[in-house]
Structure 1
Amino acid sequence: MGHLPDLIRDLALILMAGATTTLIFKKIKQPLVLGYIIAGFLVGPHFHFLPTVADNENIEVLAEIGVIFLLFSLGLEFSFKKLMRVGGAASITAFVEIAFITIAGYYAGRWMGWSTMDSLFLGGMLASSSTTIIIRAFEELGVKTKQYARIVFGVLVVEDIVVILLMVLLSTIAVTQQFEGSEIVFTIVKLLFFLALWFIAGIFLLPTLLKKAKALLDEETLLILSIGLCLAMVVLATKVGFSAELGAFIMGSIIAETTSAERVEHLTKPVKDLFGSVFFVSVGMMIDPQAIMQYGWPVVVVTLLTLFGKLFSTTVGALLSGQPLKQSVQVGMSMAQIGEFAFIVATLGLSLGVISDFLFPVAVGASAITTFTTPYLIKFSEPLYFFLERILPERWIKRLQAYSAGTQNIQAETDWKIALKSYRNIILINIVFLLILFWLSINFLLPYLSGTIENETTRGVVALAISFVVALPFLWALMAKKPENNSYKELWLDRKYNRGPLLLIEASRVLLGGVLIFVWAFQLSSNQVAIMVAVPVVMAILFVFTQRMKNFYRRLEERFLGNLNAREIESANSMSSRVSQKNADFQTRLAPWDAHIVQLQTPTHAPFIGKPLSELQWREHYGINVVYIKRGEDLINVPGRSHFILPFDQVGIVATDAQVAGFKPVFQEPDPKQNRNSNIDINDIVFEQLVVDEYTKLRGRSIRDSSLREQTNGIVIGIERDDLRILNPDSTTIFEWGDVIWIVGERDKIRALRNQKAARG
């Protein structure tokens, strides 16, 4: 018999244990992550009643692959544009919460006598909440359509990216053992620089590659390509000093901007689920019951800090962002749990060898407790608000309401604000491009030329020529590109008041470009003559070839924006996309009214189907307004009194949370007539016949007037008349003597109809 490697035996054990526990957890409606962790404990070294994993090193490698695919999948769902679309309220709430809980976690660790690194990683572990647990709780409690849920989902998006950055900072601090502010600032700047480099290069190259090879990319090839790209970025990230997780996340976010994002996400999901389960099982394998008992006090402290610290900080963040007190409390109560990222952060610390083993059982214990408390916290958020409203001084409540109303009022942007924002974008975007080119010139171009050109002056001239030729379009944009909006044009035409400040801005841009050119030339060449020649030559080329630079830059810009927006452009003609964009715009404008748009899908057997809106009188009874009805790819905008609703229509209503709560049960209530038949077994539906004679009293009546449909809860399939068979007869067909009627209906009702016939006979 051949030898079976330990890896295969261990993988079989892990997957079977994981499958068994997840089936149980699905049955009891608990998060699958906890099921995997318990499965890991059962097959781990600290539980002796079941077979144990033989080779932990192989499992650790598989678990690391699992983390990579978890972060890759997160990037596919994330995308940087999604972060840009998150509202200011969610961003402010997230940053306040993350800053508070991270600092509080660090000092809690120090208070319990932990080391500096243990305390830092504890803060990082507490920084994120669990998207999976929150979504499951929202669905079970039916609050996904409430206004505060939109803020919660926005906070989760911001948390994802911030926790990725925290992981990079923690790994850097762990490796360098440097805690100085200057070192951390340098790490952040370096990280942002590489994020920009990878993102820009990826958007320039990857969508074009996928577009060109679209005809060749079947499911197998696309799967291999996407996983290859993910792992290649992982290797690149580790080469430049960042974590593998960051590389996976970046590649996922780049692919998320392409038209292949949905296909890649669909294809890689089984891979992510497989290796992700191995990772969470490996987390469970590290659980030591004795350690949990030994560190029971830290588990309690971390749990209480998570519950009350997150509740407090998130509520305060929501209040600062201008949300009403009730909505802020609801947001705070929803976020009080530890997310799956806690295990990834802890795994990072253990792999670097900088944290203690007890952090894992502490994280798992706190996560398990907060998982079970989350639904109850969400459920009791409204009673807590009413309690606060009773005990807080009335003047505080009024001030909070006034602050919320003031911050949520939409103020029209002035022309100067719009123009200055455009100038800011032009300068920042092109500065980033130029810094990337400058870094590439110093680190790649100069070393290459040093090995091929011996003469220092010649080498400097060649380096200057190559680098500036590539940089010219971005230098032109930095120094001369004008904002392309009406606000700038109107300001420029108003010579008396605006020409002076605008000319000052233009002069400052030219000066900034000149300084950058001089510094660039000085770094690439030590020959003063070459520098003094290069600077005026570059400036002269920019001036003489302005139009060509403008045209070339426009082509680059169109290429980049086309790739960046390809996904949106592809779906721009779809009604769903346009409705979603319009809903997002309306949500912002409705904020001061304490109302929002909710889109509800019409149930199959709703009692109001086919009835005109004038008859339903929803606005009069429930205070809601129907603003659109989306039927497939058709949109009925502001439907009138005569419009009606059909099954599966997407109905957009404007209402407050209270009005939605009162209206949803009415909207989703099934037709009681359909409910009476909902428990009928398929075997009770029969194909039977009736004869038109003196007992049935059907002669001379049409199918429609015969009431056979109501009496049998069925339909007439056919009529046999002498030698003629009529299939699916029209409802106006008149029954004649001797007709044999074939009916598909309920056995009991057809039998009752026959019994009535027999009784009359």
Structure 2
Amino acid sequence: MGHLPKLIEDLALILIVAAITTILFRKIKQPLVLGYIIAGFLVGPHLSITPTVVDTTNIETLAEIGVIFLLFSLGLEFSFKKLVRVGGAASITGLIGIVFITVSGYLVGQWMGWSLMDSLFLGGMLASSSTTIIIKAFDELGVKTKQYAQVVFGVLVVEDIVVILLMVLLSTLAITNQFEGTEMLFTVGKLLFFLLLWFIAGIFLLPTFLRKAKSLLDDETLLILAIGLCLGMVIVARQSGFSAELGAFIMGSILAETTKAEKIEHLVKPVKDLFGAVFFVSVGMLIDPVAIMENRWAILWVTLLILFGRFFSSTMGALLSGQPLKQSIQVGMSLAQIGEFAFIVASLGLALGVTSNFLFPVAVGASVITTFTTPYRIQYSEKLYELIVRFLPEKWVNNLSNYASSTQNIQAETSWKKVFKSYLNIAVTNGIVLVALMLLSINFLLPFINRSITNPVISGIIVLVISFGISAPFLWALMAKRPDNMDYKELWLDYKYSKGPLLVLEISRVILGLLLIGFWVSRLFSATVAILIALPLIIIVLRLFSQRIQKFYQRLEKRFLSNLNAREIAAEEDSHSEKILRQHFKPESELAPWQAHIVDLQVNPNADYTGKTLEELAWREKYGVNIAYIKRGDKLIYAPSRFKKLLPFDHVGLIATDEQMLVFKPVFDSTETENTDIPDYDVEDIIVQKIVVNEYNKLKGLTVRDSGIREKTNGLIIGIERKNERILNPNSFTVFEWGDIVWIVGERKKIQKLNEV
């Protein structure tokens, strides 16, 4: 190599300057992303006193690769199951916040006289808060254990996935210039179909491949495979009419469900950091001080919109989802900033050539200001709540509190909801697979057969036999598979339902299956042949071979579920108690009406209470906190009795409110030791359930201790609802009254026995 290519010289300049700026930003404890952007400004064309990047075209290509790896890494951290576990409160809060701020951003852009696409991309830029900045602020301020922090984390997950969808929609709008409602609905449907199809196919194939090739996959090979799969899905996404970023995100989310997820994330991190740095530096290179001064008012209005608009929308979303006023304000104050995704959305608009150059300086300016204010907003959110309560009428505060309590109550028909969800899962998963098979058979298999066989009837029959032979298990499942859970059986045998709703669901999915078969066959033959000949034949075949088809489908389903839950199965082999806590002990959503949550704390080896029994400590009576479990190494002491002792390094699960933890935390952290062997036991099927004090269970007049509920259910009482009063973690001498609703964390079967007549 006689001379160095300009690309190498530019990369050396970019990385050296980026390293220096990030060291400085780490020193002053500011986000590294801002350091990269400043580095880009220093080596960019708008600052003449420093060396400048020459080969901008190649740098832009490397920046595009950086975006791909950023989205791939986000997918690895994301996991679709994490979205399912987010819960209603975070989902409602996130969606309301996104809709409000996106529409507001568009309207502000139009008000400032921007073009249609500039305004749309401004709305997209404001749709997501910065996960890295919020987590960093929570760590520094020590508020991660507070209840509202869990809602914020859930909202960030929702925002991540919605912004990915927004990017795809904005790309589609930019390319097609189609703004009709039907076109948008078709795009959204196509997008969801693409997501679900590749998720199902990826989960079915990839974990199995990784498991069988385990002995051949060292770190180097696994890294190459992961990057190859990522870029391969990028190509598939682009060929399907979607963005490269979506393809990278989907492959990351598929790999996130495998047992190799953490390993891949660790291996890919240096690659992501390198190309991600180049991307953020390229963002900084677009900063023009002249443009910033020219658009200073736009930066001001966008910053105010972020600070007040995101605060207002997130607070209202949290309130509507049933969160208390204080918690809602804390959520809103935490989410009022933008971060990395704003730069990615802005760069997407520039790459597509549909947005103006000034959009980047506006994004950077607003991001810097809102980022610097984040820790202060979180720190003073409680004082803002106190100020608001002081000015709000007492009646409003009480109404908000009552609304929060009523919306969080568990509905009586939980079994029905679970059954409906099971039917929906069956219909969606099998429907997606069937539609994909239909498209493959019509668009690929039929033309391939027609090249060899000229007779359209014969070629149609061959395609029909092959395609329906492959799709038979999924057709059977769509039309005949029943939910495999106890809730379905209980509802089917419950007379009060008269089997009506279940029969409607059964008939509806059979009709759906028949319509799908009819449409499929009509694409190969005429509608008359489909209705009179093919449809009856297919139904007869499905009926005659239903048992064989069912067994084959069950093998496919078992493999899919095994791959989907591979990480949980591996974790179960490592730690049985961790499995219990993760899969069974999930009372957080049920505790929401009480404004309480689970806090996991470790016992200090020098704590002065070690070796004492829980009865001697009397923490529930003194501070109102309840000990749900004690985790000792790999063993779990669930619902410990009053005779259990706390030992050094035990992990204690406490049920408490933020206010109770504020008082109790110094007591728990207070600092002698004694070692004792405490027996342990395992618990299965742990739930949060409520019972009513009535003539059957004869609890009326008994105290919590005399009732024997702890011994009978192997659990503990976490609350009592009495008329309009809520008693969280009642003490042992609380007396039950008629009509009390008693909330118990315990074993399902034992609580059900307690309710038996």
TM interval, short-chain normalised: 0.7 to 0.9
**Who is 2:148 aligned against?**
148
1:580 to 1:74, Cα distance in 2 relative to 1, 3 A: farther
- 5+ residue gaps, structure 2, are 673-757
Aligned partner of residue 587 in structure 2, secondary structure: helix
**Who is 2:54 aligned against?**
54
**Who is 2:633 aligned against?**
632
**Who is 1:557 aligned against?**
557
1:582 to 1:645, Cα distance in 2 relative to 1, 3 A: farther
Code of the aligned partner of 1:597:
I
1:53 to 1:611, Cα distance in 2 relative to 1, 3 A: farther
In 2: Cα distance, 1:375 partner to 1:458 partner = 71
Q: Deviations over 1:250-277 (max 9, x none)?
A: 0000000111111101111111111111
**Who is 1:259 aligned against?**
259
Q: Deviations over 1:570-597 (max 9, x none)?
A: 1124256335426861212211111111
Query: How far off its partner does 1:657 sit?
Result: 0.5
**Who is 2:64 aligned against?**
64
Query: How far off its partner does 1:635 sit?
Result: 2.0
Q: Deviations over 1:584-641 (max 9, x none)?
A: 6121221111111111234465555555555655445543333322222122333455
**Who is 2:752 aligned against?**
none
| Paired residues, number | 671
**Who is 1:653 aligned against?**
654
Query: Percent of counterpart pairs with the same letter?
Result: 67
1:605 to 1:281, Cα distance in 2 relative to 1, 3 A: farther
In 2: Cα distance, 1:119 partner to 1:220 partner = 45
Residue 116 of structure 1 pairs with residue 116 of structure 2: yes
CA contact (8 A) 1:583 1:597 kept: no
In 2: Cα distance, 1:444 partner to 1:4 partner = 48
In 2: Cα distance, 1:486 partner to 1:610 partner = 42
CA contact (8 A) 1:69 1:248 kept: yes
Code of the aligned partner of 1:117:
M
In 1: Cα distance, 2:611 partner to 2:486 partner = 47
Query: How far off its partner does 1:178 sit?
Result: 1.1
In 1: Cα distance, 2:390 partner to 2:361 partner = 40
In 2: Cα distance, 1:129 partner to 1:209 partner = 36
In 2: Cα distance, 1:505 partner to 1:32 partner = 53
Query: How far off its partner does 1:497 sit?
Result: 6.0
1:504 to 1:250, Cα distance in 2 relative to 1, 3 A: closer
Tell which deviates more after alignment, 629-638 or 524-533.
Answer: 524-533
Code of the aligned partner of 1:148:
Y
Residue 24 of structure 1 pairs with residue 24 of structure 2: yes
Kindly report the root-mean-square deviation, in angstroms, between the aligned alpha carbons of the 2 structures: 2.1
In 2: Cα distance, 1:252 partner to 1:529 partner = 45
Tell which deviates more after alignment, 571-580 or 246-255.
Answer: 571-580
**Who is 2:275 aligned against?**
275
Q: How does 1:284-295 map to 2 (within 5 A)?
A: 284-295=284-295
Query: How far off its partner does 1:18 sit?
Result: 1.2
Tell which deviates more after alignment, 131-140 or 507-516.
Answer: 507-516
Aligned partner of residue 627 in structure 1, secondary structure: strand
**Who is 2:694 aligned against?**
none
1:283 to 1:405, Cα distance in 2 relative to 1, 3 A: same
In 1: Cα distance, 2:496 partner to 2:305 partner = 59
CA contact (8 A) 1:460 1:527 kept: no
Query: How far off its partner does 1:49 sit?
Result: 2.3
Q: Deviations over 1:198-253 (max 9, x none)?
A: 11111111111101100100111101100110011011111111111000000000
1:592 to 1:583, Cα distance in 2 relative to 1, 3 A: farther
In 2: Cα distance, 1:216 partner to 1:47 partner = 51
1:616 to 1:423, Cα distance in 2 relative to 1, 3 A: closer
Residue 136 of structure 1 pairs with residue 136 of structure 2: yes
**Who is 1:713 aligned against?**
none
Q: Deviations over 1:280-304 (max 9, x none)?
A: 1111111111111110000000000
Tell which deviates more after alignment, 312-321 or 538-547.
Answer: 538-547
Q: How does 1:459-498 map to 2 (within 5 A)?
A: 459-493=459-493, 498=498
CA contact (8 A) 2:518 2:530 kept: no
In 2: Cα distance, 1:352 partner to 1:248 partner = 18
**Who is 2:579 aligned against?**
578
TM-score of the two chains, using structure 1 as the length reference: 0.85
Query: How far off its partner does 1:655 sit?
Result: 1.3
Q: Deviations over 1:45-86 (max 9, x none)?
A: 112222111211111111111111100000000011110111
In 2: Cα distance, 1:354 partner to 1:239 partner = 21
Aligned partner of residue 150 in structure 1, secondary structure: helix
Aligned partner of residue 571 in structure 1, secondary structure: helix
Q: How does 1:369-388 map to 2 (within 5 A)?
A: 369-388=369-388
1:619 to 1:418, Cα distance in 2 relative to 1, 3 A: closer
CA contact (8 A) 1:288 1:361 kept: yes
CA contact (8 A) 2:631 2:651 kept: yes
In 1: Cα distance, 2:392 partner to 2:495 partner = 55
Aligned partner of residue 354 in structure 1, secondary structure: coil
CA contact (8 A) 1:90 1:155 kept: yes
CA contact (8 A) 2:518 2:531 kept: yes
CA contact (8 A) 2:598 2:655 kept: yes
In 1: Cα distance, 2:200 partner to 2:175 partner = 28
CA contact (8 A) 2:200 2:429 kept: no
Query: How far off its partner does 1:494 sit?
Result: 5.4
**Who is 2:337 aligned against?**
337
Tell which deviates more after alignment, 306-315 or 283-292.
Answer: 283-292
1:163 to 1:415, Cα distance in 2 relative to 1, 3 A: closer
CA contact (8 A) 2:627 2:640 kept: yes
In 1: Cα distance, 2:424 partner to 2:210 partner = 32
Code of the aligned partner of 1:629:
I
**Who is 1:41 aligned against?**
41
In 1: Cα distance, 2:42 partner to 2:610 partner = 53
Aligned partner of residue 562 in structure 1, secondary structure: helix
- Which entry has the higher C-alpha Rg, 1 or 2? 1
Code of the aligned partner of 1:656:
T
**Who is 1:595 aligned against?**
596
Tell which deviates more after alignment, 617-626 or 167-176.
Answer: 617-626
